[in-house]
Amino acid sequence: MGLKTKKDLHIPFTWEERRPVLLERFFYLPKQFDHEQMWLAFSSPEIFGNDRPVHLELCSGNGQWIGEQALKFPEVNWVAVEMRFDRARKIWLKTFREEIPNLYVVCAEGAAFLRHYVKPGSFTESYVNFPDPWPKRSHGKHRLIWAPFLRLLGAAMRSGGSATMVTDDAPYRDQMIREFAKSGMWEPEFPMPYYRTELSSYGNSFFGDLWTEKGLESFYMKYRNANY
């Protein structure tokens, strides 16, 4: 694969010329762009070179969790979606430096990516680990997990596919549960109150480790796509 550096990944055009671009195991989707439909069939051999199941993580951060999962489960293909370019590039570098050929990186806003670029039925499992809770009431609209987003995610999943959400923020936890119910596309895997504070063998992430060190709880929710 060859050793990669930051200089090996750059966006090859100006802001005025911006457009979606497929690079080496990296898809860049610019912000503030008038998107057109462009299906990327992640479950077909054109992306990974095989037709193995594909798992999706949104809000991947520095890629700690998904990198570990991709190494642990090489029989699965993994797609990391991160909005910030600097973080997405770190994940991309990780795929080469740690030799993780079954991990593909997308630099994009999650909803736009799902709406315009993901072929329906692409993923078998999906994860959102510690999305920004935007704790101020006035900032709540910036949160990712709302019913319209969950419908987009449901359309991207294969029949019976799952979505796992993790947060340390109790108000956001409660909102997630309400929005899953509103979406009409998901059924809870866990009985009331629809979350757990432990999920064995789930894996480690930066924020998960941080909250554990501080003695704080994390909340795990898992839902199954009801369209099966």
Query: Which amino acid belongs to residue 171?
Result: P
Is the CA virtual torsion 32, 38, 40, 45 positive or negative? negative
- List the one residue out of 37, 39, 12 whose CA is nearest residue 23: 12
Provide CB contacts within 8 A for 21, sequence distance 6+: 11, 12, 13, 27, 28
Provide CB contacts within 8 A for 210, sequence distance 6+: none
Point out the catalytic residue in the list 132, 168, 169, 174.
132
- Residue 132: active-site member: yes
What's the length of the chain? Answer: 228
Q: What per-residue string of b and e applies to 14-33 under the rule 16 or more CB within 10 Å gives b?
A: eeeeeebeeeebbbbbbeee
- Kindly state the DSSP code that residue 1 receives in the 8-state scheme: -
As annotated, the active-site residues are 132
